[in-house]
Chain A
Amino acid sequence: MSEILTIKGLSKSYKQVKAIQNLNLEITDGQAYGLLGPNGSGKTTTLSIITGILRQDVGAYTWFGEDPRSAQRRCIGSLIETPHFYPYLNLEKNLKIICDIKGLGYSDIDRVLDSARLLERKRSRFSTMSLGMKQRLGLAAALLGDPRVLVLDEPTNGLDPEGIAEVREVVIDQVKAGKTLILASHILSEVEKICGHVAILKKGELLANGPVKELLSEEEVIEVSCADNQKLKSELGGSSLARELEEENGLLIITLKEGVVPADINSFAFSHQLVIHHMLSRKRSLESQFLELVKEE
Chain B
Amino acid sequence: MRNLLHIEQIKLFNYNPFRITLGLYFLAFALGIIIYPAIDKQIPVISLSDIFRFPDVWMFLTWITEPYNVMLALIVIMITTKEFNDHTFKTQIIFGLSRSDLLVQKLLSVLLLSMFATLLVGITSFSLGLIYSYKLTFKIAFENAWILGRYFLAAFSYMSMGLLMALLIKNTALSLLGFIGLRTFVDPVLWLILREHEVKWYLPFRTITRLTPLPDLIELFQRKVNSSEPIDDAALELLPKGLPLWLNILLVVAYTGLALFFSYRLLQKRRLT
Interface residues of A (CB under 8 A from B): 48, 51-54, 69-71, 73-74, 78, 80, 83-89, 93, 96-98, 100-103, 141
Given the contacts A93-B10, A93-B14, A101-B3, A85 and B271 also touching, CB distance less than 8 Å: no
> How many interface residues does chain B have, given as a range?
20 to 34
Interchain CA distance A54-B3 in the complex, whole Å: 24
* B101 with A70: CB separation less than 8 A: yes
Given the contacts A97-B7, A97-B10, A74 and B273 also touching, CB distance less than 8 Å: no
Q: A78-B95, A84-B87 are in contact. List 6 more A-B contacts (CB 8 A).
A: A51-B93, A70-B96, A83-B91, A84-B88, A86-B86, A100-B7
Interface of B is mostly: helix
B5, closest chain A residue (CB) = A100
Interchain CA distance A172-B243 in the complex, whole Å: 70
* A53 with B94: CB separation less than 8 A: yes
* A101 with B92: CB separation less than 8 A: yes
Q: Which of A87, A88, A93, A102 is in CB contact (< 8 Å) with B96?
A: A102
In the complex, what residues of B have CB within 8 A of residue A85's CB?
Answer: 86, 88, 91
Q: Which of B7, B11, B95 is in CB contact (< 8 Å) with A141?
A: B95
B97 within 8 A of A: yes
A125, closest chain B residue (CB) = B14
B42 within 8 A of A: no
* B96 with A74: CB separation less than 8 A: yes
Interchain CA distance A80-B273 in the complex, whole Å: 11
* A48 with B273: CB separation less than 8 A: yes
Interface residues of B (CB under 8 A from A): 3-4, 6-7, 10-11, 14-16, 86-88, 90-98, 101, 271-273
Q: Which of B3, B88, B90, B94 is in CB contact (< 8 Å) with A103?
A: B3
Interchain CA distance A51-B14 in the complex, whole Å: 28
In the complex, what residues of A have CB within 8 A of residue B88's CB?
Answer: 84-86
* B10 with A89: CB separation less than 8 A: yes
* B14 with A52: CB separation less than 8 A: no
Interchain CA distance A54-B4 in the complex, whole Å: 22
B9, closest chain A residue (CB) = A100
* A54 with B91: CB separation less than 8 A: no
Interchain CA distance A232-B252 in the complex, whole Å: 90
* B3 with A88: CB separation less than 8 A: no
Closest chain-B Cβ to A295's Cβ sits at a distance in Å of 31
In the complex, what residues of A have CB within 8 A of residue B94's CB?
Answer: 51-53, 73, 78, 80
